Amino acid sequence: MADMGISTSPSSRRRTTRTAVWLTAGLTAAWVALVLVFRTKWPPAIALIRRLNRAALNPAMLVLAGRARSYASVVHHIGRRSGRSYVTPVLAERSGNRLYIPLPYGMHVDWLANVLAAGFCEVEHKGERFSATTPAVVPAAEAGMALRPRPRALLDLYGVTDYLRLDVVG
């Protein structure tokens, strides 16, 4: 086979291995820091993460959120002051006629205030779009009984203590 310009010398392999180790270490450190920020609820860091998510992650998530194979769902809600329509990507878990949405940033987020004020919203979840009513913030103990073990364990690790519970209509 012809040489395709790929170096397989020992020094090249060591460099590649070293880069992979540093990349893995960096990603692990970032993940540990993120878990610590959420568990401690350190306000400056939470505010920074919220701004970054709103500016970069949320628009990217909305491309696939709500589809059949997506892990993310979409909440469609109306602004309580502006009356404008908004969409917010969230994680959601359906259990029968109930939907549970973890609140990793706590209860002081605009989309949650909008849903609670309106008393309803629409949700795109696993390829379906439905109306949801009777929003209520519930403790993790109640929501945890309805969640699958793996998502529950991850959300517990992040220190999520509250969930939005919605009744699915139709």
The mean pLDDT of 117-123, rounded to a whole number, is 97
The mean pLDDT of 93-115, rounded to a whole number, is 93
CB 103 within 8 A of CB 164: yes
Mean pLDDT of the chain: 88
Domain boundaries of the chain, sorted by first residue: 10-40, 41-169
Instruction: For residue 158, give the DSSP letter.
Output: T
- pLDDT tens, 10-59? 777 777 788 888 888 888 888 888 888 888 888 898 888 888 888 888 89
CATH no. for 41-169 = 2.30.110.10
Looking at the predicted structure, is the pLDDT value of residue 2 above 60? no
Six-digit token pair at 49?
């993460």
Six-digit token pair at 92?
């959601």
Of the two residues 164 and 154, the one the predictor is more confident about is 164
The mean pLDDT of 62-80, rounded to a whole number, is 93
Exposed, middle or buried, 85 (CB in 10 Å: 0-12/13-18/19+)?
A: exposed
Exposed, middle or buried, 166 (CB in 10 Å: 0-12/13-18/19+)?
A: buried
- C-alpha span between 144 and 70 (Å, rounded): 21
- pLDDT tens, 141-161? 999 888 888 888 988 988 999
Looking at the predicted structure, is the pLDDT value of residue 5 above 90? no
CB 111 within 8 A of CB 86: yes
R_g over Cα of the chain: 20
- Residues linked to residue 64 through DSSP beta bridges, in sequence order: none
* Residue corresponding to tokens 């917010």: 88
